[in-house]
Amino acid sequence: MQRTGKPTINDVARIAGVSKKTVSRVINRSPLLNADTRGKVEAVIAELGYVPNVQARALALRRNFLIGLIHDNPNAQMVMNVQAGMLEAMRETEFELIVRPIDRGSSTMLEDVRNFLERQRPYGVMILPPISENDMLADLCNDLGIRYVRMGSATLDDPEHMVASNDREVVIEAVNHLIKLGHRRIGLIAGPHGFRSARERRKGFEEALVAADIKLPRSLIADGNYTFESGLAAADRLLDLSPRPTAIFSSNDEMGAATLHAARRRGMTVPDDLSIIGFDDTAIANHIWPPMTTVHWPIISMARSAALKLLADFFGDDIASEEPSLFTSTLIHRASVAPPRGE
């Protein structure tokens, strides 16, 4: 039979004897399909010379083939790791990632996000902390009929809409490690106010000291902003104390690396004069000397799972429901921790 015009997804579905949704899953490399069905549809696609029309399909769905990443986060490495995890899940699909930074302190934040969502019409969005803790953003997505997943350091939503980690518990483990080595004067470089991750990590730090009956003077807590510069200033404040701490827990690796830098400027040796533990297990933790003991935060796995949850219609609801919502962080032992000198 002679065909006229370009073949459509309807043509592929009819000739292959499957639904349009099945054809879409073949195009998007869904793991749900068996080899026979996939082979049959791919053969028809090749025979017809069918090329998916993303714009036409987006018009039919009333959504673009875009996954949005919305954030207000000063930690560039975290945002990059999230992108890596999401892109891994989206590989060989028709979806593209679009990143939208926003200002959580703006009086027009919600309106800015609404304008972005209405203008781009993404299929779904991933919302990073700390703005993921804002329930109004979740309500906005629901109002607009847009899938969303929120990332956090504690439970924020139902499993379909959330990926979270056990920050408080793993920080307790990290501080207990210092205590078991003999440290009693332990400083904290806290994360920025308004971040649930900073609050959970500080809570874990405080709970570990309380359980060990170790008092925590306010002077042993210095605020940071998850940046190297803020970590440097915070470390200087702690190391100016007399007596100074024998160990410092930093709420992320950037500030932990800055603590090492601050100690070196004073002629101190790590870990003999000062033990340091970070959080994230980013590349910087293993690239500095000595390599830094830190908490491995499974951010890439969390982001990958979030993207699969967003693409449930394409990868299949069963696949999405099998994706975890709670992820376990682990303490990675390296060379920046030792018993305090003289112990």
What would the pLDDT profile of 244-263 be if each residue is shown by its tens digit? 999 999 999 999 999 999 99
Spatial contact of 248 and 235, defined as CB atoms under 8 Å apart: yes
What is the Cα–Cα distance from 302 to 283, expressed in whole angstroms?
Answer: 18
What is the Cα–Cα distance from 180 to 333, expressed in whole angstroms?
Answer: 14
pLDDT digits (tens, 9 = 90+) for 218-236: 999 999 999 999 999 999 9
For 276, phi and psi rounded to 5 degrees?
-135, 135
Give the 3-state secondary structure of residue 153: coil
Q: Which of 10-24, 117-131, 255-269, 319-333 has the highest mean pLDDT?
A: 255-269
pLDDT confidence tier of residue 34, bands split at 50, 70 and 90: confident
Per-residue exposure over 103-133, b if at least 16 CB sit within 10 Å of its own CB, e if not: eeeeeebeeebbebbeebbbbbbbbbbbbbb
Q: What domains appear along the chain, each with residue ranges and CATH number?
A: 9-48 (no CATH), 60-165+298-327 (3.40.50.2300), 167-297 (3.40.50.2300)
What is the Cα–Cα distance from 191 to 197, expressed in whole angstroms?
Answer: 8
Mean per-residue pLDDT, 13-41:
79
Q: Which helix (H) or strand (E) holds 101?
A: strand 96-101
Mean per-residue pLDDT, 193-214:
95
Position 2 pLDDT exceeds 50:
no
Give the 3-state secondary structure of residue 111: helix
For 124, phi and psi rounded to 5 degrees?
-165, 165
What confidence score (pLDDT) does residue 37 get? 86
Mean per-residue pLDDT, 289-316:
91
What is the Cα–Cα distance from 152 to 137, expressed in whole angstroms?
Answer: 14
What confidence score (pLDDT) does residue 48 get? 82
Mean per-residue pLDDT, 56-63:
54
Q: Which residue has the higher pLDDT, 14 or 61?
A: 14
